[in-house]
Structure 1
């Protein structure tokens, strides 16, 4: 039997070390991780969603109160620390927390050099008019799963996502019959303006997976939305309009003659959608699909 020399042992150890290392690519390039980070900070809400869906509780995120009001699902545990606003995180507090990994996104691009002085950074610019935002979110989810050694969990969640679409689609057909209505999703901004979701928007991707076409065509954009005058919604003659809450001025707007004259309002083809994040990770498509379906099931079929 051959004796292993110190050099042989060293080479074996290096081979094991290399086998355990994970190479991933973010929006800025290639990164190598020799072990799964344990103390992870998310500076955008899509990243926070990804972590929670992978079964990882973030050490901290930016704007916990905003997450709980606008994102809602998945639920953010009570012990997660707040490190300031997404556009202006508290860098001193971040350094004190000593994270193993910082996740940043579209809003923090200029901060990456400073963040990199605190901890390794993975930066994902997930929203762009140059790519499919839903597919980009899926890629980010799977990349983080590799880094955090949660690949099995990620595949399980994606399978559940697809199964959920099929179940919701069946419920909609049971309610509406063979032909589903055309639907447009909006956020009402004030008494004069509305944000309309369309091509490349996460709400429309969720609707597509449910077999639903848009009631109003909106061109591709970075965030999948356009801001329009409220009167532009008058072009929706036969479709359904779903508005995402919260909208504090709802009672005031809905009492106006202009609103009451909208064709979809007169026909009763309007419903509220519980607060759901429309700029999130891939699993947010499931929450959107679920809440959009619940709203649609409240719309009369005649």
Structure 2
């Protein structure tokens, strides 16, 4: 669970080789899929010009991998495919997608060997690997997260990626689906008497006997989603400026006690820190939402840093909990 430490949530390499016909087999081309040169301004403010929309794409982070596959462009390469299958079930990677190493340390050689038209990665990965890759292939750097405007940031990233791969119409469709689900969820929650209800979202890990809890504060993507569907994030402690995340412990979680909170958490890897790691912990067991059965594990495979399809999965799970 160390990959969930506060500063380790960011971008990495997602790469894989496949036949040039992979994209055509997965989805029908959109109207702009065979267009001429395309220019997009990436998260660095840098203009990236391609002679034509990219079809052989390597993605360096799970959220971007999901977005590409959702658009009908299966990446030729991706980092940590096994982990992706565990944590992000919004899409399924084709068996042809080549794994090019861990998200933290993708192999530049493996990326380049795939002869991609484009590499997509998040800003937090930093300049060194960007500079290495740009010697061989155009690199599109997404923002990945921005706690000041995470839903709008997601829209910008989806539109940018969709434009670069000639799938603007599909990108607009993904965002329209998300908007429609936000609107319907708000109505469903209001009908269930849950409008304005407090929620909290966390994940955690255990090292030795110490349990660390990572809270999704205001500005985190799922926090913004919760607000958009009419709920209220009860965790008010400021998180980091990029991801809206903050670290605490069981004592810190006591700040949520007595507020009628529904506490959601993620444990897709099968390590349930809250149900198992805190079993018998007097502080945890005494919290009102634990006693009342409002500590809810999300269904496995909902990536809380994902694209529109992951966002819809999260909304579905949350709405179901309030309707139960």
Q: Is the 8 A contact 2:87 2:303 kept in 1?
A: yes
Choose the corresponding residue for 1:143, options 160, 178, 182: 160
Give the equivalent residue in structure 2 for 1:119. 137
Give the equivalent residue in structure 2 for 1:41. 58
Distance 1:186 1:235 in 2: 14
Choose the corresponding residue for 1:284, options 310, 320, 323: 310
1:30-109 equivalences in 2 (<5 Å): 30-109=47-126
User: Does 1:26 find its partner at 2:48?
Assistant: no
CA RMSD of aligned residues (A): 2.0
Give the equivalent residue in structure 2 for 1:269. 294
Give the equivalent residue in structure 1 for 2:272. 248
Distance 1:76 1:218 in 2: 37
Give the equivalent residue in structure 1 for 2:29. none
Q: Is the 8 A contact 1:134 1:282 kept in 2?
A: no
Structure number with higher relative contact order (C-alpha < 8 Å, ≥ 6 residues apart) = 2
Residue 107 of structure 1 and its aligned partner are, at CA, apart by 4.2
Residue-pair matches, total: 278
Distance 1:296 1:185 in 2: 14
Query: What are the ranges of 5 or more consecutive residues in structure 1 without an aligned counterpart?
Result: 1-18
Q: Is the 8 A contact 1:197 1:218 kept in 2?
A: no
Q: Is the 8 A contact 1:70 1:277 kept in 2?
A: yes
TM-score, scaled relative to structure 1: 0.85
Distance 1:229 1:256 in 2: 12
Query: What are the ranges of 5 or more consecutive residues in structure 2 without an aligned counterpart?
Result: 1-34
Distance 2:213 2:236 in 1: 15
Secondary structure, counterpart of 1:88 in structure 2: coil
TM-score, scaled relative to structure 2: 0.80
Residue 178 of structure 1 and its aligned partner are, at CA, apart by 5.9
Q: Is the 8 A contact 1:166 1:210 kept in 2?
A: yes
Give the equivalent residue in structure 2 for 1:196. 215
